[in-house]
Amino acid sequence: MLRSLESKHLSDQDLSELAPTADCRSHPDAASEVHLSERLWNSLKEHFKQDKQITDFLNATERNLKKGQIVDEVFGGCQRTFDSVRRRLIRKSRGIEAILEATK
C-alpha cells in the first residue's frame, strides 16, 4: 500500500499545472479565490482518483469544509506563493504515508 502511495506523489510538473499563479487575482481564468481553489481541489481529486484511501480522505476533507474555505484551509490562501502550496501538499502526503505505515 505504501509503495502505491509513494508512486502517487505529485511531481513538481504536476504541481505546476495545479497552480497557474501565486496570486489568483492576476490569473485570467480565475473569477475568484473560490474558483481557483475548486480548480486546484478538482485537480488533486483527479490525480488521486485511482487510490481509494486518498480519495476517501479528500472527500471527507471536502465534506468538512464549507464551500469557499478550501483555499484557506487546504491551500493556505491565494496570496501564498506556489512553493508554499507545494510544501504544504508534500507535508500532507507524508502525513498520509505515516498513518498508512502505522496501520500496517
Q: pLDDT by residue (tens digit) across 27-68?
A: 444 444 445 566 777 777 788 788 788 777 777 777 766 555
- The whole-angstrom separation of Cα 32 and Cα 86 is 20
Q: Which domain holds residue 15?
A: 2-102
Range 88-92, long-range pairs (CB < 8 A, 24+ positions) = 89/10, 89/15, 89/44, 90/9, 90/10
Which run of H or E residues covers position 95? helix 82-102
For the chain, give the percent of residues with pLDDT over 90: 0
**How many other β-carbons are positioned within 10 Å of the β-carbon of residue 95?**
11
Residue 73 grid cell: 484551509
Given a contact cutoff of 8 angstroms between Cβ atoms, the answer to whether 80 and 22 are in contact is yes
Average pLDDT, the chain: 60
Neighbour-count burial of 85, counting CB atoms closer than 10 A to its CB (0-12 exposed, 13-18 middle, 19+ buried): buried
Q: How far is CA 61 from the centre of its chain?
A: 11
% of residues, the chain, pLDDT over 70: 34
Count structural domains, the chain: 1
